[in-house]
Structure 1
Amino acid sequence: MNQNNTVAAPSAEQVMRERHSVRQYKRDVVIPEATLNEILELAATAPSSWNLQQWRFLVIQNQAQKDLVRPIAYGQQQVSDASAVIVILGDLQAQITGREIFDGMLAAGHVSQEIRDNMVSQIEGAYSFEQVARDEANKNAGLGAMQLMLAAKSKGYDTVAMGGFDKAKLVEALNIPARYIPVMMIAIGEAAAPGRPTPRLPLSKLVINESF
């Protein structure tokens, strides 16, 4: 018996198997700031192209702000009821971050000047193409979003990812700079009703070995 009455953290497999999309939340549940920050920190350990960390997390907890966003999300009730709504943003100008990261690595002695210059040149060359910048913003923000949902589940909270919202109105309502694009919204909180079990395709329909 654990003398400290602590509960063992769930395994990664348990978190992945038990995570379901929840659309009904207990209203007025406040996630402790330290816990929410830990969830966001865990989400931010996700991998990203060139380590540019193209995600940004716009956190909405104020009830009036959630109620403002709800009609923009076509009236989805979970936007108002969940403890927090996280707007996942993708960075269209992540080459700026690239310079910061590799300048820092150079100053710390982790890379040579040659490696720093090569990486920055590669990043800025890729980001000179608008479509590449947009693809990278969406792709890498998605990695951060999935990790956020798993991190939340590991801390005992449920989530649902939402793509149904008016992006233009959201940008206007939340004063989102042109550098960032809304990729999805994630509601997070305590479930008022469990998520529906969802059937999964068998591996025979999902896995292609070697080649089609």
Structure 2
Amino acid sequence: MTNLKEIYENRRAVNFFDKDKKLDNNTLENIINLAVLAPSAFNLQPWKIIAVKSEEAKKRLHPLAFNQPKILEAPVTLIIAGDKAGYLPDKEAWSTFAAQAGKEGTEGAKQFAQILYDTTEERKIKFAESNGGLLGMSIMYAAQYYGVDSHPINGIDFDGIQKEFKLDENQNVVMLIALGYFDKSHELYPRLKRYNYSEIVSEI
């Protein structure tokens, strides 16, 4: 599938996954490598992904997602985490920024990032979650491009997942994304109404 409009129209949040249909590593890598074209603040890419694939890891994640069956059924569930400290001046990603902006431009950007994100815990969380959310949506569209179904999951124990999967204190769990192939013995619910331009946009 190469038509972007079709990708948007065909992506659905799939509740039922075919347990017998595996997601091969090459396809998973292709999905992630395409998805990381998503934008991020200062191109810092402050995110981390844990691919939960083994039966043992799925059983650990399952109760932390309130026992949702898709955790056990999907061949892979991604834990998407955003780095609350991803803007700090010692982060390696700034070297990529510097290759384009130069030393002076990079130093100015680092100072601006400190002003934007370093003043409160709420701003740090905002930094982590907004960038992690951009990656998450990009993963789901990339998956659709490769013919893989997905489901974003926010009904989870965020703190429990952080602890269980040994994420450090700055790695903020943003969402889970189950990846696999729709179990065609079930039916998808009809797509619910989406609010359109006239309903959500205020022109000023």
Q: TM-score, normalised by structure 2?
A: 0.90
2:129 pairs, out of 133, 138, 142, with 138
Structure 1 residue 202, shift from structure 2 partner = 3.5
The Cα offsets for residues 128-169 of structure 1, whole Å up to 9 and x where unpaired, read as 222211101111111100010000111111111111111122
User: Residue type matched to 2:48 in 1?
Assistant: R
Are the structure 2 counterparts of residues 105 and 204 from structure 1 closer, same or farther at C-alpha, using a change threshold of 3 Å?
closer
**Matched residue, 2:59:** 67
2:101 pairs, out of 100, 111, 115, with 111
Contact in 1 for aligned 2:162/2:173 (Cα 8 Å):
yes
Contact in 2 for aligned 1:54/1:90 (Cα 8 Å):
yes
Structure 1 residue 207, shift from structure 2 partner = 2.5
Are the structure 2 counterparts of residues 92 and 105 from structure 1 closer, same or farther at C-alpha, using a change threshold of 3 Å?
closer
Structure 1 residue 69, shift from structure 2 partner = 0.8
Could you list the structure 1 runs, at least 4 aligned residues long, displaced by more than 4 angstroms after superposition. none
1:179 pairs, out of 160, 170, 177, with 170
Structure 1 residue 105, shift from structure 2 partner = 4.6
User: Residue type matched to 1:186 in 2?
Assistant: I
2:191 pairs, out of 179, 194, 198, with 198
Question: How many positions carry a matched residue from both structures?
Answer: 200
Structure 1 residue 98, shift from structure 2 partner = 7.0
Which segments of 5 or more consecutive residues in structure 1 lack a partner in the other structure? 1-8
**Matched residue, 1:27:** 19
The structure number with the bigger radius of gyration is 1
1:124 pairs, out of 83, 108, 114, with 114
User: Residue type matched to 2:55 in 1?
Assistant: Q
Are the structure 2 counterparts of residues 202 and 103 from structure 1 closer, same or farther at C-alpha, using a change threshold of 3 Å?
closer
How many Å separate the matches in 2 of 1:97 and 1:80?
Answer: 40
**Matched residue, 2:68:** 76
Are the structure 2 counterparts of residues 52 and 178 from structure 1 closer, same or farther at C-alpha, using a change threshold of 3 Å?
same
Which segments of 5 or more consecutive residues in structure 2 lack a partner in the other structure? none
Are the structure 2 counterparts of residues 104 and 20 from structure 1 closer, same or farther at C-alpha, using a change threshold of 3 Å?
closer
User: Residue type matched to 2:122 in 1?
Assistant: Q
User: Residue type matched to 1:153 in 2?
Assistant: Q
Structure 1 residue 112, shift from structure 2 partner = 2.6
Instruction: Tell me the SS of whatever aligns to 1:16.
Output: helix
How many Å separate the matches in 1 of 2:44 and 2:94?
Answer: 10
Are the structure 2 counterparts of residues 146 and 117 from structure 1 closer, same or farther at C-alpha, using a change threshold of 3 Å?
same
How many Å separate the matches in 2 of 1:122 and 1:172?
Answer: 32
Are the structure 2 counterparts of residues 163 and 97 from structure 1 closer, same or farther at C-alpha, using a change threshold of 3 Å?
farther
Structure 1 residue 57, shift from structure 2 partner = 1.3
How many Å separate the matches in 2 of 1:203 and 1:171?
Answer: 37
Query: How large is the RMSD of aligned CA atoms in angstroms?
Result: 1.7
Structure 1 residue 11, shift from structure 2 partner = 0.8
Q: TM-score, normalised by structure 1?
A: 0.87
